[in-house]
Structure 1
Amino acid sequence: MRDDDAFGFLLVTATRLMRARFEQALGEARLDLTPAEARTLVAAQRRGPVRQAELALALGIEPMTLVNHLDRLESRSMVRREAAPLDRRSKQVIVTTTAKPAIRRIRRVLDQATASALASFSAQERSQFADFLERLCHALHPDMARSAVDTPD
């Protein structure tokens, strides 16, 4: 086992390197989306119509940060915001059909970047690693929903 502080630095380094790989792959895909916008779009699609506050909580970001992402996505007709049916004071986010091709490409890009990064891992190790990361995310941010962390179908 590594020293506790070495583990923390190793995790930060791995995160930085994986993010750089994803940013590069996303840029090469020419989607004109930041990684944060791509993550927001996928999380909103996975959750279905979702209140903005719930989406910000699930993503682990500040509501105003989410508003900036949504403004850009809405300007491209990828999402729309409507009054929530049960609380007209709050807004819900709805992913439009315009966004569907981009979401498919985002998932392909992420899958390819992940497969490349984890090529030396067995299927069992990848599954175990994902389980460990989910547990870590939940321990660090109990309100973070699984749908904000993963991108299955």
Structure 2
Amino acid sequence: MESEEARRVNRALNKMGKLYREVKSRKLAELGLHPGQDVLLWLLAQEEGGMTVSQLAARLGIEPPTATRTLARLEKRELFRREPVPADRRQVRVVLTQEARRLVPRIEAVWDELAEEALGGLTRERREAVVEALEDAGDRLREQVAEAVLAEE
């Protein structure tokens, strides 16, 4: 890739990332949520019996202390409860409350709005091409992160 093209790619990705996060932040604020909390709640909603903090962190691709901090913010709103794990007294499962479950369709609606606002003006073929390109780029960057983590160990 030539230097000018590389700069254009970097500008576009940086600008898109910032704008996406800003619009998402504003929409989630209407639900009383911050970016990241939406994904955490959505993932928990997929598991009727809840998940341990370690399982949740692994699914989110974050460290357990980060998941714990996010949960601490959500706990103030009573969006989940902690239940003991019968096989391991040191562990607890995080289980969504009914109030949190009612939020999930609203979170999904925010995601639908964001997708429509970002790419809705494109044809189905162009949207598919954009999504494929972003997924491919994400896969390549994920490989680099994994390699860096292995090198540190």
The reply to whether TM is greater than 0.5 is yes
Shift in Å, 1:85: 4.0
Task: Return 5+ residue gaps in structure 2 as ranges.
Answer: 144-153
Shift in Å, 1:8: 3.3
| Identity across matched positions, percent | 30
Give me the whole-angstrom Cα distance separating, in 1, the residues matched to 2:52 and 2:132.
27
Residue equivalent to 1:21: 23
RMSD: 2.4
Q: Name the TM-score, length of structure 2 as normaliser.
A: 0.75
**Which has more radius of gyration?**
2
Q: Name the TM-score, length of structure 1 as normaliser.
A: 0.75
**Pair 33,122 (structure 1): closer, same or farther in 2 beyond 3 Å:** same
Give me the whole-angstrom Cα distance separating, in 1, the residues matched to 2:130 and 2:14.
15
Deviation track 1:46-99 (CA, whole Å, cap 9, x = no partner) reads: 244222112212222222221121122222221122233443322322122111
The amino acid of 2:101's aligned partner reads: K
| Conserved? CA contact 1:60–1:141, under 8 Å | no
Give 3-state SS (helix, strand or coil) of 2:94's partner.
strand
Count of aligned positions: 140
Residue equivalent to 1:33: 33
**Pair 50,5 (structure 1): closer, same or farther in 2 beyond 3 Å:** farther
Deviation track 1:121-150 (CA, whole Å, cap 9, x = no partner) reads: 2223323433443344344346xxxxxxxx
